[in-house]
Each structure stands twice: as C-alpha cells, then as structure tokens.
Amino acid sequence: MGLLDGKRVLIFGVANDHSIAWGIAQALHGEGAEIGFSSVESLIDKRVRPLAESLGSTFVEPCDVQRDEDIDRVFNRWGETHDGLDVLVHALAFAKREDLTGRFIDTSRDGFALAQDVSAYSLVGLTRAAMPQLRRGSSILTLTYYGAEKVVANYNVMGVAKASLEACVRYLAADLGPDGIRVNAISAGPVRTLAAAGIGGFKKMYADFADVAPLRANITIEDVGRTAVYLASDLSSAVTGEVIYVDGGFSVLGVPTAD
Ligand code: NAD
Ligand code: 0WE
C-alpha cells in the first residue's frame, strides 16, 4: 500500500538523474504513483526517455514553457491518454548565465523578463492549462530557493524571479483553494544539479552549507522527494500557499557561521 496509489502525476523539469525533478519522480513512484514527464525537446531522447522507462512511464512529451502552444499540446496529449491529473510538479528555472554573476544592478530588461517568464510565469501558464484535468484533492508543487528572501551573492535575477514564483504560489492557492486544489513550494538547499554546474562560487557555497546548516549535511534529491510525497499526498490535505524548507535548517539561522 503506497501513499499515492492510483495517483496520476505529471513532472516538468527532469534534465538528468541529478535533477531535483528526478528525485521527486522516484519518490512519488515509490509510493505507487503513475508518472508522466515533460522536458525540453533536446533532452528527451538521450536523457529523459530512458529515465522514464525505468519507472515504467510511457508519457514523455517535449515542452518549452516559453511557448503557449507547447504547453497546450502537452495537456491535450495528457487528456487523450489519462482520466485526470492528481499532481503537477514544476521543477524548472532559467536565467542567462551572464545575469548569475557580478552585480544585480547590471541586469538587462530582457534578462529580467526571461527569468520571470521561464521561472515564475510558467507556473501560472502550466497551472491554467492543467485546470480542466485537475480535481478536488489535486496538488501542485514547485521548487524555490532561499535567494528569493535574502540576498545570495550571484543569484541576482533568479532571486527576484523566485520571489515572484513564491507570490504566484500564494495567489494560485487562493484562486484554486475553492476547487479543493492545493499549491505549494519546496525551498531546497543547494544541490549539485545541471542548473548549479559552473555557477561561480557554487562549489564553496555547497561545501560551507554542510558546515553551517543545523543538520550539518547537504540535502539530497531524495530528501526533496520525501517532502514532495507529503505535499502530493492527502497527508498535507489542509496545507496550501506554503513554502516548505528542505534545507537542513539553514534558513532559521540569524548569523550562519561554522564551528
Ligand atoms: P536541472 O538543471 O536538473 O533542472 C532544471 C530544468 O529546467 C531542466 O530540466 C531544464 O531543461 C528546465 N528548463 C529550463 N528552461 C526551460 C524551458 N524554457 N522550458 C522547459 N524547461 C526548461 O536543475 P535543478 O536544480 O533540478 O532545478 C529544478 C528546480 O529546482 C529549479 O526551479 C531550481 O531553481 C530549483 N532549485 C534548485 C536548487 C539547486 O541548488 N540545484 C535549489 C533550490 C531550488
Ligand atoms: O535556481 C537555481 C539555479 C537556476 C538556474 C541555473 C542556471 C545555470 C545555467 C537558472 N538559470 C541558469 N542558467 C544557465 O545558463 N539554484 C537554486 C541553484 C543555484 O544557482 C545559483 C546559486 C544556487 C544555489 C547561482 C548563484 C548563486 C547560488
């Protein structure tokens, strides 16, 4: 008996087996859910389809979340092959690399708009497109980061996009609450994914995190997956509009320092 037996889940944002979305996929599948995947086209054949097949999934559809027609296509395809959607997972973000280094003040208008479009608006667009297939008890989750709330060096335009994403979670929770649909975010500590690779200073920040966080360890995609099980399941039936921290306690510290 799994906590998610018979639940139908659609996950956006698997790039490879290091992705947070993949940790979530494995955890939800482990509790009995059926998982479908959507990722950018270039990753599908080499990376995503083999991972999906390892969980017995056949639904693997490309989608660039900047394109409304891609979003509509994925949900139309879902509707043709499934009777409803219980869980929608949004685990994607993008900003120009040049905007994730140096001073925030140098962010361009188009770099700002790009980060907002891919990293925040996409949650609104995906949720609206999913609406006809969602029902009472359905759960939507997204991924955020502490840089939404406090200044994290170099996170810059992504911090502003994550602040926007967290506000989107609250407004969507208010819109969909009367329909019995919940919307929440997981704020994860640093994880060495493709999206973290090559970020200036990430390596040191990742190492320091384990010395400073109350639980004295980095977090894993399995840790995120277990909290996703809670948010996807009826265990969290009265929880909506929230940001839940999977960060070993880092965010409660007033003066983060190593021993
Ligand atoms: P990842 O690189 O594995 O996943 C990011 C995904 O975003 C990729 O699959 C990529 O294809 C997708 N993406 C980018 N632009 C897209 C577009 N236009 N259309 C569709 N998909 C697009 O990295 P990750 O760290 O697993 O990131 C997943 C989520 O977790 C992101 O929202 C990220 O901000 C968040 N997060 C990451 C960390 C971390 O330290 N890695 C910490 C907290 C939150
Ligand atoms: O949300 C993120 C990263 C999101 C991200 C990563 C990239 C790298 C490649 C968005 N866009 C891009 N664009 C690229 O071209 N994280 C929470 C991980 C992360 O990124 C940082 C961090 C942390 C933590 C950037 C600077 C400082 C800390």
* Separation of CA 212 and ligand 1 centre (Å): 25
125-150 average pLDDT score: 98
Digit-coded pLDDT (tens) for 73-119: 999 999 999 999 999 999 999 999 999 999 999 999 999 999 999 99
| 87-90 β-sheet, strand order | 60-62, 34-39, 8-12, 87-90, 139-144, 182-188, 243-246
Which residue's C-alpha comes closest to atom 21 of ligand 2? 155
Contact in structure between 168 and 136 (CB atoms under 8 Å): no
Cβ < 6 Å from ligand 1: which residues? Answer: 13-15, 19-21, 39-40, 43, 63-66, 91-94, 118, 143-145, 188, 190-191, 193-196
Q: Which domains does the chain have, with CATH numbers?
A: 8-245 (3.40.50.720)
- pLDDT category of residue 197 using cuts at 50, 70 and 90: confident
Q: What pTM did the predictor assign?
A: 0.99
245 included as an active-site residue? no
Token pair 């320092």 is found at 257
The rounded distance, in Å, linking the Cα atoms of 115 and 247 is: 23
127-146 average pLDDT score: 98
Count CB atoms within 10 A of the CB of residue 12. 24
Contact in structure between 89 and 130 (CB atoms under 8 Å): no
In testing the pocket of ligand 2, which one of 96, 101, 143, 158 has its CB within 8 Å of the most ligand atoms? 158
- C-alpha angle 186-189-193 in degrees, rounded to nearest 5: 95
Contact in structure between 36 and 86 (CB atoms under 8 Å): no
In testing the pocket of ligand 2, which one of 155, 208, 209 has its CB within 8 Å of the most ligand atoms? 155
How much of the chain exceeds pLDDT 90, in percent? 97
Distance of CA 20 to the CA centre of its chain: 7
Contact in structure between 20 and 221 (CB atoms under 8 Å): yes
